[in-house]
């Protein structure tokens, strides 16, 4: 990729923010008119502990260049320990993604409390720049992996009535 | 009317699935009585031209095992698809990629380098590697093209049913064959195995603690495994909670943890992620460093959680930032 391409590349980042802290913080950043880079698409989840790692792979599969996860600070989880579960999964997931050749800068977990609108701004801007430097994530084209079950060339099965089989 | 015609074929597999068919034991005679096996390279001397000369749809069912990773396998499964009414993906490799699917952690060049140059027992001073075409005095000799990426059967051709397992359990094979013969099949695309997690039929089910957490994960060779207690509760990475039942809990009965060959239950998209999620959340700590330490005992997350399903995963293969634009298959 030339420098020129890289300048034009706008990363797509999917952010999973928990309802009680980080999403509220993003809201605060908005009402306080703190500008942050528009590359992030926020998905609100009730708790960072609800974040199934399948969602993260799905985001990458469907074209995300990075995934940001935001939850309450340790000890502050609305559901007592959801964010700890998120941390455990994230720890192993990070190692897994590394083994699969996906750069560690493409995934980030941050604890952002409801009052930390400025942290939302800072984290999003930082991550956008990091991912911009890495360039787009181009997994193998999804068209190659679609189950072929909808293909029309299939022959109708020969139905065998009972009794005929013997 | 003549007997229904059946074909067996193998792609990238170890031959264990063929063994499983033979494992039907005396029951195989009933199968042979009911159907004509017209193609089975491992056991019977039929040729590709025999299949080519059949009418489209003439085969009632083809049981295809193994992942697809070469041009030859691709041609053969396309041919069998055309000639068959039903195609059953037979075994883990055809279903979700299986052990050969772990080759998706590398690419073709890395595999060739390893096999033909780097293995200590290999002496290859002339740097000979297999060529796809070779001009011999007698004419051009060809070999199939080995793909960069291993694929599941349904990523290559439409598949009607799946028989999971490594190899599929004998009772499920017998059940599937009888369902096909009687025409009592579930909706197309179904996995021909119960849709409940393995724990349901595990003899250790009763010993599963109400709340599970682990300070230390262990590997089977590191401990004396208690033959009665839930394996996950003993700190072993038993993937039973995420895996489909139907095998009769063969491994856990034999004092070994489940490795997940039966694949996911139907509401899971990505088996490995679900397994990773379940296992990681067991780590008994809230401290970042300690969590890191506990989970560091899981030395190979890809091989552990995607042992049988890397090609069927959402990521599908190792991502090579440097090799973008290269030929992938």
Residue B302's closest chain A neighbor by CA?
Answer: A96
- On the question of pLDDT at B1 being above 60, the answer is no
Same domain membership, residue B92 and residue B162:
yes
Q: Considering only the beta carbons, identify the residue of B183, B301, B328 that sits closest to A92.
A: B301
Query: Which segment of A15-29, A143-157, B169-183, B310-324 scores lowest on mean pLDDT?
Result: A143-157
**Residue A151 binned pLDDT confidence (cut-offs 50, 70, 90):** very low
Chain A residues touching residue B38 (CB < 8 angstroms)? none
Model ipTM? Answer: 0.89
Give the mean pLDDT of A94-108: 94
Locus of tokens 């007997």:
B3
Q: pLDDT tens-digit profile of B196-226?
A: 999 999 999 999 998 889 999 999 999 999 9
Average pLDDT estimate for B4-14: 94
Same domain as B215, residue B83: no
B91 domain-assigned: yes
Which tokens sit at B57? 């749809």
Is residue B166 predicted with pLDDT exceeding 90? yes
Mean pLDDT of the B29-33 span:
86
Lowest mean pLDDT among B69-78, B125-134, B216-225, B305-314: B125-134
CA angle B79, B82, B85 (to 5 degrees): 130
- Average model confidence (pLDDT) across chain B: 91
At residue B170 the predicted structure's pLDDT band, cuts being 50, 70 and 90, is very high
The domain ranges of chain A are 11-138
With beta carbons less than 8 A apart as the criterion, state whether B238 and B232 touch. Answer: yes
For the domain covering A11-138, report its CATH number.
3.40.50.960
Q: What is the CATH number of the domain that holds B49?
A: 3.40.50.700
- The closest CB to that of B154, out of A58, A139, A147, belongs to A147
Q: pLDDT band at B39, cuts 50/70/90?
A: very high
The pTM assigned to this predicted structure is 0.88
Residue B226 lies in a domain: yes
The mean pLDDT of B59-80, rounded to a whole number, is: 95
Q: What is the pLDDT of residue B107?
A: 86
pLDDT > 90? residue B329:
no
The Cα A106–Cα A63 span in angstroms is 12
Residue with tokens 């849709």: B195
Instruction: Report the domain count for chain B.
Output: 2
B160 & B225 share domain? no
Verify that B39 and B80 share a domain, yes or no.
yes
Same domain, B213 and B74: no
Whether B157 and B24 share a structural domain: yes
B177 and B206 share one domain: no
Distance CA A47, CA A22 (A): 10
Q: Chain B neighbours among A 121-140 (CB < 8 Å)?
A: 134-135, 137-140
CA distance B47 to chain A (A): 22
Q: Do B171 and B249 share a structural domain?
A: no
Q: Which two tokens stand for residue A56?
A: 């993260």
Summary mean pLDDT of chain A? 86
Q: Residue A5: its pLDDT value, please? A: 56
CB count in 10 Å sphere of residue B132: 11
Residue B196 to residues B89, B144, B148, B183, B242, Cα–Cα distance (Å) = 20, 40, 35, 24, 9
Q: Cβ–Cβ of B280/A91 closer than 8 Å?
A: yes
CB contact under 8 A, B4 and A137: no
Q: Are residues B177 and B256 in the same domain?
A: no
Residue A142 is predicted with a pLDDT of 59
What is the domain range of residue B234? 198-305
- Cα distances (angstroms) measured from residue B52 to each of B16, B39, B55: 26, 11, 8
Question: B85 and A135 in contact by Cβ < 8 A?
Answer: no
User: Is B28 part of any domain?
Assistant: yes
CB-nearest to B189 from A100, A140, A149 is: A149
């Amino acid at each position: 990729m030339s420098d020129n391409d890289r300048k034009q590349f706008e990363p797509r980042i999917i952010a999973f923010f928990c309802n009680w802290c980080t999403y509220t913080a993003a809201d605060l950043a908005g009402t306080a008119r703190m500008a942050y880079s528009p590359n992030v698409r926020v998905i609100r989840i009730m708790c960072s502990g609800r974040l199934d790692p399948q969602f993260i792979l799905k985001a990458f599969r469907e074209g995300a260049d990075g995934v940001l996860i935001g939850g309450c600070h340790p000890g502050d989880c609305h559901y007592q320990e959801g964010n700890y579960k998120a941390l455990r999964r994230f720890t192993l997931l990070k190692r897994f993604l590394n083994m699969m050749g996906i750069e560690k800068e493409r995934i980030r977990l941050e604890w952002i409390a409801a009052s930390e609108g400025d942290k939302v701004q800072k984290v999003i801007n930082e991550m956008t720049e990091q991912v911009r430097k890495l360039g787009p994530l181009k997994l193998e084209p999804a068209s190659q992996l679609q189950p072929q079950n909808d293909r029309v060339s299939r022959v109708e099965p020969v139905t065998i009535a009972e009794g005929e089989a013997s | 009317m003549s007997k229904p015609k059946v074909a067996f074929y193998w792609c990238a597999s170890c031959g264990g699935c063929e063994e499983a068919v033979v494992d039907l034991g005396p029951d195989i005679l009933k199968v042979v009585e009911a159907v004509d096996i017209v193609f089975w390279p491992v056991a019977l001397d039929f040729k590709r031209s025999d299949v080519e000369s059949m009418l489209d749809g003439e085969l009632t069912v083809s049981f295809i095992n193994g992942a697809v990773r070469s041009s030859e396998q691709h041609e053969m499964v396309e041919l069998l698809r055309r000639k068959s009414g039903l195609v059953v993906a037979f075994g883990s490799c055809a279903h979700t990629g299986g052990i050969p699917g772990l080759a998706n952690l590398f690419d073709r060049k890395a595999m060739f380098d390893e096999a033909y140059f780097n293995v200590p027992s290999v002496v290859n001073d002339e740097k000979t590697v297999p060529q796809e075409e070779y001009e011999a005095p007698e004419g051009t000799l060809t070999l199939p093209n080995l793909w960069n990426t291993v694929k599941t059967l349904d990523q290559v051709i439409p598949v009607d049913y799946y028989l999971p397992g490594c190899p599929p359990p004998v009772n499920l094979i017998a059940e599937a064959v009888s369902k096909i013969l009687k025409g009592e099949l579930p909706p197309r695309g179904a996995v021909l195995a119960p849709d409940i997690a393995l724990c349901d039929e595990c003899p250790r089910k009763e010993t599963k603690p109400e709340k599970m957490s682990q300070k230390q994960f262990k590997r089977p060779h590191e401990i004396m495994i208690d033959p009665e207690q839930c394996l996950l509760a003993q700190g072993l990475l038993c993937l039973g909670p995420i895996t489909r039942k139907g095998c009769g809990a063969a491994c856990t009965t034999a004092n070994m943890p489940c490795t997940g060959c039966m694949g996911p239950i139907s509401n899971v998209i990505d088996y490995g992620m679900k397994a990773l999620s379940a296992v990681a959340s067991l780590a008994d700590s809230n401290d970042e460093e300690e969590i890191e330490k506990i989970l560091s005992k899981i030395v190979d997350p890809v091989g552990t959680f995607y042992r049988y399903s890397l090609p069927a995963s959402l990521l599908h293969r190792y991502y090579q930032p440097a090799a973008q634009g290269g030929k992938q298959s």
